[in-house]
């Protein structure tokens, strides 16, 4: 990462990235199975692809961790 001028942020391996709606933040326990590739949020009714939703959530969580670390300096 340093070679390319980038920063790597570690997110907890227990962060429920594919189970959390990236729109409203609802945690959907029904998406626990890896067989569930697409799902609809029971709260905001947004339709999610499991991998795309997880990527959005990981980006947002990484930015949150980075901001918190930056504020501690």
Instruction: Tell me the whole-structure pTM to 2 decimals.
Output: 0.88
In angstroms, rounded to a whole number, what is the distance separating the alpha carbons of residues 52 and 73?
32
| Tally of CB atoms within 10 A around 63 | 11
In angstroms, rounded to a whole number, what is the distance separating the alpha carbons of residues 61 and 64?
5
| CA distances in angstroms from 18 to 14, 46, 51, 64, listed in the order given | 11, 14, 7, 17
At 63, the pLDDT band (50, 70, 90 cuts) reads very high
Q: For residue 42, give both structure tokens.
A: 């029971």
- 9-59: per-residue pLDDT in tens? 999 999 999 999 999 999 998 998 999 999 999 999 999 999 999 999 999
């Amino acid at each position: 990462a340093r070679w390319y001028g980038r920063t790597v942020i570690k997110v907890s391996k227990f962060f429920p990235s594919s189970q959390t709606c990236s729109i409203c933040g609802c945690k959907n326990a029904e998406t626990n199975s890896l067989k569930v590739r697409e799902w609809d949020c029971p709260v905001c009714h947004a339709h999610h692809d499991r991998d795309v939703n997880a990527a959005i959530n990981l980006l947002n969580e990484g930015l949150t961790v980075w901001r918190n670390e930056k504020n501690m300096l």
